[in-house]
């Protein structure tokens, strides 16, 4: 009997896994432990403060101690059987630990014997451990010692049930007598989103279901994630796309064979959707063929490939609405000053009429050679980033491009020599390009664009490297199998993960952490220096008070003459510089080491693919992560 056939259909949560014995060799050692120990990521973890905080070895020792107390040298899986195990229950109140739950485990003859022996407590000597067994309920109820609540124990055929409430025991017997009718096993959600996917993975995937509406209600949580009220752009923009509170439940499977494969289905409360979400979710997604065509632009060593299909006008409006008011006003003033646009809405309407409803973002190592006669730039470490947009009306984009270039000073453009407006024409891969030079662009000092029709569809590509424009176009036209410019569409792991994922989606993200590792390491030093924690307002005030007390006794900060304040600043600035140098010497190595560990952990993954499909009735997501143990 499937353990899910003994679980009531109306439970608030359900988690199950089959063939547990395959995970251990022997218990509690993982079957893949030797392979794990050979990886740099595992060695880095075990040598870190992270591992000491998790106390992995302590947990292992505790499990070993439990195993040693079993009779006859038996291991827990010898008794349990190492087959199916499920946890299900109901949320009760504001704390998760208050939930009523039941564990269902398929057992062998030893497990059956153990369950039966509970009806004869004198034979087990449980009193010596402070435990007692009550048999008045028709099944053993275990209490005492350190148990926070009494545990009800029963067996239905080859499944032992341990629960915090008698109703689970009664329901299991009733469901078994009715061939699992009204059980979780025979529910539509289990069949459609667990059983079918589980059969594809071989039947030993982790099965999961959570009633989010019940969970949030019991925890008094509004489900406002991402945060719509955030002052930061990204959380607020993402909150306009999707909200956890809109999801009624999540159901799906997780498979850990060679990495991770996750499939999740989340029905939506359509009455909570905004007008923008409703329009977005109604749009048909892209299929495999369209993804592969877009991936032809991406080099094979792409670190991040993001592909999105949705109404460009709507997305731009939500992006503008997510900006800080001051930034939004500055942007509107900037384009109003050109004399062409009275409002940002006019600009959005023009872009909406110029672009098709899809775009791709490509990020890879910036290994393009620097141009000695190219734009001046700072030394920040940045990846090469390209944005590919499919065009409906390319002439409008050309006009907008020339408008910005013709008023370069307004947009912060600056040439190499005084008087140059910083807007240049060039050629890449046989196509005419335009370059916008600006010291405001980190790392490269340039934004380059090209309108091109490499085969049949016109695209506009924008990149922070003019050499990247030609590279992406050559990947598309010369990147076939055995071609000179290998592209992502011909990477076998990308194609394999795509074939295993959703057949249709609105958003796709591909990540190759090993491609990103080298430039993330270079960038980590910049990040560590930026992340040094110090309250400069308080430190400056403290330093000023000290200087004023020493050089201007009797006076107070904020009540100095301009000349006196200049003198104080001249004495305070070196103090703060010395403080920063000292704090950097203390904190930067620690922060850099922490970032290095994160990079190493990431490099344990050779590839990851995430896909999200919108629908007014439900969201579907798939995640595939490849973690070779080499």
Q: Tell me, what's the pLDDT at 90? A: 98
Average pLDDT of every residue of the chain: 91
Closest CA to 396 of 439, 341, 448: 341
Higher model confidence: residue 288 or residue 35? 288
Q: Tell me, what's the pLDDT at 79? A: 63
Strand partners, 432: 427
Run of H or E residues at 103: strand 100-106
CA dihedral 132, 135, 140, 142 (to 10 degrees): -20
Q: Tell me, what's the pLDDT at 44? A: 83
Higher model confidence: residue 24 or residue 462? 462
pLDDT digits (tens, 9 = 90+) for 409-438: 999 999 988 888 899 999 998 999 999 999
Strand partners, 16: 86, 207
Q: Cβ(28)–Cβ(77) under 8 Å?
A: no
- Integer angstrom CA distances of residue 130 from 143, 145, 182: 9, 5, 39
What sign for the dihedral angle of Cα 522, 488, 451, 484? Answer: positive
Strand partners, 613: 620
pLDDT digits (tens, 9 = 90+) for 446-504: 999 999 999 889 999 999 999 999 999 999 999 877 888 999 999 999 999 999 999 99
d(CA 471, CA 430): 12
Q: Tell me, what's the pLDDT at 235? A: 95
The percent of residues in the chain predicted with pLDDT above 90, rounded, is 72
d(CA 300, CA 605): 16
Q: Residue 71 corresponds to which tokens in the numbers above?
A: 């009779």
Q: Cβ(135)–Cβ(126) under 8 Å?
A: no
Secondary structure (DSSP) of 416-471: SSTT--SEEEEEETTEEEEEEE-TTSTTT-EEEEEEE-SSSS-EEEEESSHHHHHH
Going by pLDDT thresholds of 50, 70 and 90, the confidence category of residue 66 is: low
pLDDT digits (tens, 9 = 90+) for 112-129: 887 888 888 777 667 777
In Å, how far from its chain's centre is CA 207?
20
Mean pLDDT of all residues in 41-60? 74
Backbone torsions φ then ψ of 356, nearest 5 degrees: -75, 175
Q: Tell me, what's the pLDDT at 220? A: 92
Going by pLDDT thresholds of 50, 70 and 90, the confidence category of residue 59 is: low
pLDDT digits (tens, 9 = 90+) for 350-376: 999 999 999 999 999 999 998 888 999
Specify whether the backbone of 397 is left (phi greater than 0), alpha (psi in -120 to 50) or beta.
alpha
Name which of 60-74, 90-104, 290-304, 558-572 the model is least confident about.
Answer: 60-74
pLDDT digits (tens, 9 = 90+) for 174-197: 999 999 999 999 999 999 999 988
Going by pLDDT thresholds of 50, 70 and 90, the confidence category of residue 164 is: very high
Closest CA to 472 of 429, 510, 516, 443: 429
Q: Tell me, what's the pLDDT at 87? A: 94
Q: Tell me, what's the pLDDT at 201? A: 62
Contacts of residue 438, Cβ cutoff 8 Å, sequence gap at least 6: 375, 411, 412, 413, 414, 422, 445, 446, 447
pLDDT digits (tens, 9 = 90+) for 566-586: 999 999 999 999 999 999 999
Secondary structure (DSSP) of 40-69: HHHHHHHTSHHHHHHTHHHHHHHHHHHHHT
Going by pLDDT thresholds of 50, 70 and 90, the confidence category of residue 614 is: very high
Going by pLDDT thresholds of 50, 70 and 90, the confidence category of residue 139 is: very high
Question: Pairing relation of β-strands 85-90 and 100-106?
Answer: antiparallel
Whether the pLDDT of residue 70 is over 60: the answer is no
In Å, how far from its chain's centre is CA 330?
32
Whether the pLDDT of residue 319 is over 60: the answer is yes
- Integer angstrom CA distances of residue 309 from 89, 316, 497: 39, 13, 19
Q: Cβ(268)–Cβ(619) under 8 Å?
A: yes
Strand partners, 511: 304, 608
d(CA 90, CA 85): 18
Going by pLDDT thresholds of 50, 70 and 90, the confidence category of residue 272 is: very high
Q: SS in 3 state form for 282-340?
A: HCCCEEHHHHHHHHCCCECCCCEEEEEECCHHHHHHHHHHCCCHHHHHHHHHHHHCCCC
Run of H or E residues at 356: strand 355-364
Whether the pLDDT of residue 71 is over 80: the answer is no
d(CA 310, CA 461): 18
């Amino acid at each position: 009997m499937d353990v899910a056939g003994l679980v009531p259909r109306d439970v608030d949560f359900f988690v199950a896994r089959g063939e547990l014995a395959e995970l251990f060799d022997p218990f509690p050692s993982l079957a893949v432990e030797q392979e794990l120990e050979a990886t740099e990521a595992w060695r880095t973890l075990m040598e870190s403060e992270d591992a000491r905080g998790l106390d992995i070895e302590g947990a292992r020792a505790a499990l070993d101690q439990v195993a040693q107390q079993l009779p006859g040298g038996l291991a827990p899986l010898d008794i349990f059987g190492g087959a199916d195990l499920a946890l299900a229950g109901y949320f009760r109140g504001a704390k998760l630990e208050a939930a009523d739950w039941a564990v269902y485990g398929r057992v062998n003859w030893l497990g059956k014997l153990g369950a039966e022996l509970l009806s004869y407590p004198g034979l087990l000597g449980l009193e010596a451990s402070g435990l007692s067994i009550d048999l008045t309920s028709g099944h053993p109820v275990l209490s005492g010692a350190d148990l926070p609540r009494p545990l009800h124990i029963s067996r239905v055929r080859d499944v032992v049930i341990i629960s915090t409430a008698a109703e689970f025991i009664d329901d299991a017997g009733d469901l078994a007598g009715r061939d699992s009718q009204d059980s979780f096993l025979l529910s539509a959600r289990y069949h459609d989103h667990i059983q079918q996917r589980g059969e594809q993975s071989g039947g030993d995937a982790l099965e999961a279901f959570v009633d989010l509406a019940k969970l949030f209600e019991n925890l008094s949580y509004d489900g406002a994630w991402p945060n719509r009220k955030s002052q930061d752009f990204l959380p607020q923009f993402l909150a306009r796309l999707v909200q956890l509170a809109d999801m009624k439940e999540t159901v799906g499977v997780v498979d850990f064979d060679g990495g991770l494969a996750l499939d999740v289905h989340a029905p939506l409360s359509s009455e909570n959707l905004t007008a923008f979400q409703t329009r977005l979710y109604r749009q048909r997604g892209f299929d495999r063929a369209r993804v592969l065509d877009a991936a032809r632009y991406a080099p094979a060593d792409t670190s991040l490939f993001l592909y999105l299909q949705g109404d460009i006008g709507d997305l731009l409006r939500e992006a503008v609405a997510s900006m800080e008011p001051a930034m939004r006003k500055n942007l509107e003033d900037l384009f109003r000053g050109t004399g062409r646009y009275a409002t940002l809405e006019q600009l959005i309407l023009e872009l909406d009429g110029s672009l098709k409803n899809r775009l791709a973002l490509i990020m890879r190592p910036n290994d393009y050679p620097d141009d000695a006669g190219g734009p001046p730039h700072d030394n920040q470490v940045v990846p090469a980033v390209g944005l590919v947009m499919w065009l409906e009306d390319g002439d409008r984009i050309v006009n907008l491009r020339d408008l910005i270039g013709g008023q370069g000073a307004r947009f912060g453009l600056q040439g190499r020599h005084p008087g140059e407006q910083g807007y240049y024409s060039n050629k890449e891969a046989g196509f005419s390009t335009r370059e916008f030079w600006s010291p405001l662009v980190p790392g490269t000092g340039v934004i380059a664009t090209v309108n091109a029709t490499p085969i049949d569809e016109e695209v506009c590509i924008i990149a922070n490297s003019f050499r990247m424009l030609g590279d992406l176009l050559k990947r598309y036209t010369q990147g076939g199998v055995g071609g000179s410019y290998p592209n992502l569409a011909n990477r076998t792991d990308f194609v394999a993960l795509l074939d295993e994922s959703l057949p249709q989606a609105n958003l796709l993200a591909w990540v190759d952490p090993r491609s990103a590792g080298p430039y993330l390491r270079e960038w980590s030093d910049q990040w560590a220096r930026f992340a040094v924690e110090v309250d400069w307002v308080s430190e400056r005030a403290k330093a000023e008070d000290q200087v004023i007390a020493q050089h201007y006794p009797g006076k107070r900060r904020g009540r100095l003459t301009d000349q006196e304040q200049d003198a104080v600043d001249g004495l305070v600035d070196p103090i703060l510089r010395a403080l920063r140098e000292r704090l950097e010497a203390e904190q930067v190595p620690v922060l850099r080491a922490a970032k290095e560990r994160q990079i190493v952990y990431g490099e344990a993954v050779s590839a990851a693919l995430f896909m999200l499909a919108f629908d007014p009735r439900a969201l579907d997501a798939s995640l595939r992560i490849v973690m070779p143990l080499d």
